[in-house]
Amino acid sequence: MKIAVIGTGYVGLVSGVCFAETGVNTICVDIQEEKVQQLKNGEVPIYEPTLDILLKRNIKEERIIFTTNLKEAVQQATIIFLALPTPESEDGSADLSYVLNMANELSQIITDYKIIVNKSTVPVGTAAKVQAIFDKKCTTKVDVVSNPEFLREGYAVEDFLKPDRIVIGSSSEQAITLMKKLYAPFVRQGNPVIIMDEKSAEMTKYAANSFLALKISFMNEMANLAEKVGADINDIRKGIGTDNRIGNRFLFPGIGYGGSCFPKDVKALQSISKEYDYDFKIVNAVIDVNQKQRELFFQRMQAKIDLQGKKIAIWGLAFKPNTDDIREAPALYLIDELLKYETKIHVYDPEAMENVAKKYSQKINFGGNMYEILENADALIIVTEWNTFRTPDFNKMKSLMKSPCIFDGRNLFELQDIEEEGFEYYSIGRKEIKND
Ligand code: NAD
């Protein structure tokens, strides 16, 4: 079996490499020449644990190749995956131009039976739109399949190799049979391959991401209320998470969700609802709460210290740990706000500094390690819960900082520890520790 994957970003590259790992001959296509060259050399352009090992192995075994030549790739493959961007448009809807332009381009190339599998997150009805393009422009049969991807950045390889489920939206028996065969190595332990129609598959992805975002926004609101009534959100989280109807995941309050998926996908679901004249109240609230959460965090900082001209250190820039992805990262919001107060911003992140440097260049300072940036700092903000920040040397921190003050957007530390260490400490949904 030979497959092509178009787009070698977080989804496309991981998918391509993992399919190759099961013995499938895989051709990956991207328009970025530099990226393709890097990949040919076995270099992974993103940070994703273990991906480099698998990439090198599969290049060596000649199971995966990279090219910018779309035609060559498509002619050789029967199954063609689209892992193209679907960014947020100005009106909040998903921008489908990458997917639809590609469908038009492919329709000029295709001369025999192909299965076009859409892995990008797309609004309901997209598979039908893409199918219509092929039906109109191709003389040969083309089956369009919706196959949403659920991998998490930071655990992408693990998630792809051992998925909770595979969702396949198709009405073609031929396509379903081939898709099941392709995915069989990943579901040997019995995890389900769920077959449904294309529209339901497209909606499943939005439902999953919006539900997870809902859990986060719910916990953020609960944390805000817990603070007001003098309760501790950490205890509440444990108290409800042990109820297996609720489950203990995605219950951590914080500074709000970010990333390349949740913000745009929840907004896209809101936009789909509007299009179908449905007032999806919960989805509207999830978005509002998320925006408010980062604003509340900043407002608290403003209330506690006079930010003008101060030195502020930031631990963590990526939208979550184990990735270098900074799309919609809360850290960027905080940096933008702090810059309005002419603060001297010093940041450290184990993987995301290069991406942030492209955006801010000289405006902020990048540290060589997590302690270096604390020297003479008036406060530390913790934005990403990298493991490396979880058990710091508090004495070293105190000796370096001008004032031992922490604004923790991820609740990394136990209140008792931090109190004993003598820090002023503001976290989410817990009591404030002041050292006056
Ligand atoms: P990405 O921006 O990391 O990668 C997209 C790639 O497509 C880039 O390498 C780009 O150069 C390439 N590309 C653009 N136009 C092209 C063209 N005409 N021909 C060939 N290549 C082209 O995006 P991503 O994060 O991998 O996301 C892709 C899709 O998957 C999106 O719809 C996203 O919502 C969805 N998704 C993402 C994740 C995630 O965690 N990142 C998870 C599940 C689903």
For residues 177-192, give the mean pLDDT.
Answer: 97
Rg (CA), the chain: 24
- Atom 13 of ligand 1: nearest residue by CA position: 7
Catalytic residue, candidates 18, 28, 138, 261: 261
Ligand 1: which of 8, 11, 14 to mutate, judged by most atoms within 8 Å of the beta carbon?
11
**Is 377 in contact with 402 (CB distance < 8 Å)?**
yes
**Is residue 225 in a domain?**
no
Taken in order 6, 11, 13, 16, the sign of the CA dihedral is: negative
Domain holding 150: CATH number? 3.40.50.720
Of all helices (H) and strands (E), which one includes residue 302? helix 281-304
For ligand 1, the distance from its centroid to the CA atom of residue 13, given in whole angstroms, is: 9
In the block, tokens 């003598």 appear at 422
Q: Which domain holds residue 54?
A: 2-196
Domains: count for the chain: 1
Residue 138, phi then psi, degrees to nearest 5: -105, 145
**Is residue 244 in a domain?**
no
pLDDT of residue 207: 98
Ligand 1: which of 39, 82, 261 to mutate, judged by most atoms within 8 Å of the beta carbon?
261
pLDDT value at 222 more than 90: yes
**Is residue 240 in a domain?**
no
64-67 and 79-82 strand pairing: unpaired
Question: Can you read off the two tokens belonging to residue 342?
Answer: 């002419």
- 395-409 pLDDT, tens per residue? 999 999 999 999 999
Task: Give ∠ CA 321-186-184 in degrees, rounded to 5.
Answer: 155
pLDDT band (50, 70, 90) for residue 1: confident
For residues 328-349, give the mean pLDDT.
Answer: 97
pLDDT value at 237 more than 80: yes
Tell me the C-alpha distance between 46 and 44, whole Å. 6
Q: Which residues contact 409 (CB under 8 A, 6 or more apart)?
A: 254, 255, 297, 330, 381, 382, 383, 427, 428
For ligand 1, the distance from its centroid to the CA atom of residue 47, given in whole angstroms, is: 15
Annotation says 138 is catalytic: no
Amino acid at 399: S
**Is residue 46 in a domain?**
yes
Q: From 160, 128, 164, select the one nearest 146 (Cα to Cα).
A: 128
For residues 130-146, give the mean pLDDT.
Answer: 97
- Supply the DSSP string of 150-189, one letter for each residue: ---TTSHHHHHHS-S-EEEE-S-HHHHHHHHHHHGGG-TT
pLDDT of residue 436: 65
Angle between helices 198-229 and 126-137 (to 10 degrees): 160
- 105-129 pLDDT, tens per residue? 999 999 999 999 999 999 999 999 9
pLDDT of residue 84: 98
For ligand 1, the distance from its centroid to the CA atom of residue 74, given in whole angstroms, is: 18
Identify the residues whose C-beta falls under 6 Å from ligand 1.
6-12, 29-32, 35, 83-86, 98, 102, 119-121, 149, 151, 153, 260-261
Mean pLDDT for the chain? 97
**Is residue 402 in a domain?**
no
**Is 289 in contact with 295 (CB distance < 8 Å)?**
no
**Is residue 411 in a domain?**
no
pLDDT band (50, 70, 90) for residue 435: confident
pLDDT of residue 193: 98
pLDDT band (50, 70, 90) for residue 361: confident
Q: Which residues contact 224 (CB under 8 A, 6 or more apart)?
A: 293, 296, 429
For residues 236-261, give the mean pLDDT.
Answer: 96
pLDDT value at 258 more than 70: yes
- 417-434 pLDDT, tens per residue? 999 999 999 999 999 999
Ligand 1: which of 8, 84, 164 to mutate, judged by most atoms within 8 Å of the beta carbon?
84
**Is residue 238 in a domain?**
no
Of all helices (H) and strands (E), which one includes residue 359? helix 353-360
